[in-house]
Structure 1
Amino acid sequence: MEEYNIMMKIFKLKRERIFCAEYEKLTQNNEIEFSTNKIAVIYGPNGTGKTSLSSILEKAANSEFDIEFNNIRYTNNGEPFAHIIHDQNGRNIIEGSTEDFILGDNIKKEYQLKEQLDKGFRNLYDSLINVLKVRFGITTKNSVFLSLLDDDKLKDYISDLANNKQKGNNIDKEDFLNYFNEKNALDVSSYDDEKFYFFVDNKKDKTSYLNALRQLKKDTFCKEEQYIKIEQTNDAISILKKYQNIHNCIVCDNDINQEALLAKKIKRK
């Protein structure tokens, strides 16, 4: 479809003594060209008649006009040629949305796209907030998990999402997308959900077991010298149970009291 610009030709403008006689028979410099977006910008210093022109088009008292717009002739004897927006309140009586009236097609599409993007991000944020809350128990920006993150930007994103007042509204959308687009998806090995929730749940005593572990001081732990013997005892018990009918050691061949030795190992464990 071929695009073309809309032309408005002015043949006559008259309003009291504002416009001189030459404006009653205009034949040159009397055209206003509208772009394909149906917009024309008129500029002129103060006192050149911009307001008076709009008043004539609105059929002000003691005014006349003869205009051709988009190949249709209009005069002050017919219906009002234009709706003039004098102030913010003047927009409220326009039929349809304000964008339809005062904006071009491309700008209108930009408004629609922005609405769709805002709605999409809102749905994404709500989904992430739910995952953080249900899956990881993160319901506030002071969650213990945040203190364990080394990535400050990720920490800020989670903090803003967990904040009940912000809910992601402070996040820069473009930076947010670029940040995660640069990340590589990693496979997470399977784990026991019950144990995981035991680890992160903080509803019962207001502190997660993760937080409890973090509060433990490393210097209070000491090396358990008998740990290796516990492992050896377990191996011995397993062997004695496996060879219950043998009464000599399968390593050194010495005679043993299998039942007494097994009872001794179990008691030691």
Structure 2
Amino acid sequence: MIAITPAPAGPCVGIGWRQPHYETLLAERPALGFIEVHSENFFADGGITLAVLEAGREAYELSLHGVGLALGSAAGLDEAHLERLARLAARMQPRWVSDHACFARVGSGLHAADLLPIPFNDESLALMVAHVQQVQERLGRPMLVENISAYVGWAGDTLAEPEFFNELTRRSGCGLLLDVNNLFVNARNDGHVAEAAAAQAMRWVDALRPGSVGEIHLAGHCEREDGLVIDDHGSRVRDEVWRVYAHAQQRLGPLPTLIEWDTAVPELGVLLAEAGRARALQP
């Protein structure tokens, strides 16, 4: 295995850079620690989108956050996808490269186009470790792996989710991209009211191995009429999630933090206000 040196952490805050804000961000250059984009949107070898990303990279530190590697898929990784990611990372030299602890690929190349939950057991862990190491070897750098919001689970899980990530980061050398909104959403969908869900999310954080987290994600969520809570990235961060975040920063931090907003994207100033609130809570 190649020697991999993690990118430094630190108390900075960024925002997800989405198409409605491409022009405004480059024109106004607000004070931000970094910007994050979805890797797959920039897999083309040229064109205007890649030129925009290069301009953003000149102005800010960059994080490439993927949604398509499907690291937990028993069918294996898509070599063509990994190659495109590697070319993009080599060109942009981002501070972080990340994706999700999920599966999506089955059979001969069929992709679910979703982040589907993996079982938390030894077999799944070994598969994830192998795939993460494969990605890191190709990129020549460590990656971050995000915990997801999951609306179904697997019978017969043998590892608690934090224990799974502790072992994944220890064995593979990757870092955890800790999404605290996902922790809260999952706790709510487990039947906990808001305060109890926040407490459960904090216990999840407390169970993590020190030094294993490389970045934190914050986002909004919605609650349907039937009570299901959805991680839709379409609103401000909820107060209970802010409390979990403050706890995580005190327990694990200071850690880089990203504000995600992907649906009903508001004016840039709203994201900057959320980033300012996150910055104020960093130790």
The normalised TM-score by structure 1 is 0.19
The structure carrying a bigger strand percent of its residues is 2
Q: Indicate the structure whose relative CO is greater, using CA pairs within 8 Å and at least 6 residues apart.
A: 2
